[in-house]
Structure 1
Amino acid sequence: MGWSELVTRASSRWTEGTGPHPEVVLSSRIRLARNLYDLPFPQRMSDADTEKLLKAAEEGVREINLVGFPSKVTLYRLGGTTPLDRQVLVDKHLISPQQAKDAATKAVAISDDESISIMVNEEDHLRIQVLTPGLQLQEAWRTASQVDDALEQRLQYAFDEQLGYLTACPTNVGTGLRASVMMHLPALVLTQQAGRLFHNLSQLGLVVRGLYGEGTEAAGHIFQISNQTSLGKAEEEIISNLEAIARTVIDTEAQARQHLYREMRLQIEDRVSRAYGLLSNARVITSEEAMRLLSDVRLGVALGVLPAISYRTLNELMIAMQPAFLQRAEGRELNPLERDVKRAALIRSQLAA
């Protein structure tokens, strides 16, 4: 897969809308933080260190492809890419907002199906990510572990017998693992249960973040729930714990949806139908309003109130309607009004399909 295709298609493996509980869980992610034993952490690297890291990453990717994953992995140096292209990758959750900055010293390796992405020279030397649709943390972990093993055939990691994998941020020391699920929780927000739930999750050592991770807002009632620390627990324990809690959150959200629909049926039907009507007919719409209305439509689909729009369509719309994607598709910068017009036309066409 070439770079152009990567930044002009809205589909990724995680957007498929398949896997267990797609009505609540958009995606599952496993991320492993790794550093090379003979290089300083990224914040202290020289230009020579950076070049050594990038070449080591190229060797590691060659080893991954020798192992024979179903989808080929390609390394892209980000130095020659545009801010718009990098923002598209952020919107697709393939790189972090931090990785999109100061791109001259960075790279990313991405598989053709976009289930695997490896950020090079972000907060750590390597950030191995695997994204799967629905609640599939175990599958994501198996793939991430295989990628990690392949890289370790070529690269020597910074590892301490007592502490585990050494990382730039102390909260990642140990396994270096961050497991997360991206969840749509509109009913918990509407019934004002979300605040209490998130407080309880924090007491269990979990953290709740917005749509694009740390420091971002929960647009469209979409939240990322992940483990907070990785020291002192085995990978399987961290993942099993998060999966069990995710299932509890799914059940709680399902109960809240049924309560809303049972107690406020007309209001809920009116809310989601208005959202569908606005999105199906609007000529101008901002990304903020579109995210809010798409959240209502997603709820309406799950409750069986609205036509059976696929979760894949809704997931891909979240990417395709973002400013960067709209401008990349148009081949030029668009002013805010032009973007809002293009966004409205895109949504109308997708919902009518």
Structure 2
Amino acid sequence: MSEVKPFFATTLSGLEPLLAEEFESFGFTNVETTKRGVSFETDYRGMVKANMCSRFAIRILLPWAEGRAKDPEGLYRFAKKLPWEQVLSSRGTLFINSSVSSDFFDHSHYAALKVKDAIADRFREKTGKRPSVAKENPDLVIHLRIHESMVLISLDSSGDSLHRRGYRPPGAKAPLNETLAAAMIALSKWTPEKTLYIPMCGSGTLVMEAAMKAANLPSQWFRPHFGFMKWKDYDRKVAEEVRLEIWQGRNTDKVKILASDVDRDALRQTQSVVSKIAWEHDITIEDQNFFDLPEDQSGVTVILNPPYGERMRPENIEQMYRDMGLKLKNDFANGDAWIITSNAEALNHVGFRPHAKHTLYNGKLECKYYGFGLYQGSRKDKPVTEE
């Protein structure tokens, strides 16, 4: 259990530096960024902490077996030799995620099928029974990656994607990925000492991620299950110890967060998720149009996820962003504003020169996330940070 092993965490494109910094703060070693992921080393306790505490990871994978195969039968032979009985029961369930980039394999689904057959045949020969495939809540999630002839099989310690935090009610709309929302809060450099205002709050994802950060509780706090909890070597005692450490490190100081929207269904959902926090914060959620907000909101940090313009005429979306900039300039002096949008042209009409630029992805949409200093007068010499 105390053995240090290599792990790999996947994340959204653009969040690799945030994830690496987070893992270094956890005390993990050999932390290195790659495309859409971070490799690191830690022990079993660290693996549990990565799942429970990471705000920016999507999955925590344990590389388990590596080999070569130049055809489906070679892949079958490689997979059948692996000691699957060490990680899965013959009565268990499994699911295989596969990704193939190879001239030797035509289809990722067929590659996954060959590995599944190899596992079933190995169990059948050894025990007379075989595990079954289950897409929903399997005992073991396997990640198969093939690049040319190189084969990597990893075990998914997260199970379901870590962006599914567990605080959202079933069937709720989620237009903003929770991991992306956590990154937006982090990149804004907002700290709980300042008032945070989230207009156009939608379903409350940004509000909840900010509240969790202020409370020093990980966004996974409300999630009851992880993939490693079904592993044969699951150590409940370690998991409970890590969870207790998280609870003891919480911050119960009040934080002031304002949120508003004109969609009452969205506001009810925001109220629902925020109510899950076990102690009182100064969180105000109002049925309020951003442009009708009372004047003089000096010193406030504002984070906006406005419409991107897919269903609006170009002149209308440009005017909306122009009005948004005027509202920020007139009523939010001495604060900061952060705006995310996939409409870079509309963003040019805000009327401020950004002091920071980040490229993020909301689903498949490439978005710009810009930070603006809300000052009076001119700051043409303000440097721009671009990532």
Q: Specify which structure has the bigger relative contact order, considering alpha-carbon pairs within 8 angstroms and separated by 6 or more residues.
A: 1
TM-score of the pair, normalised by structure 2:
0.24
Bigger share in helix: 1
Bigger share in strand: 2
- Give the structure with higher Rg (CA): 2
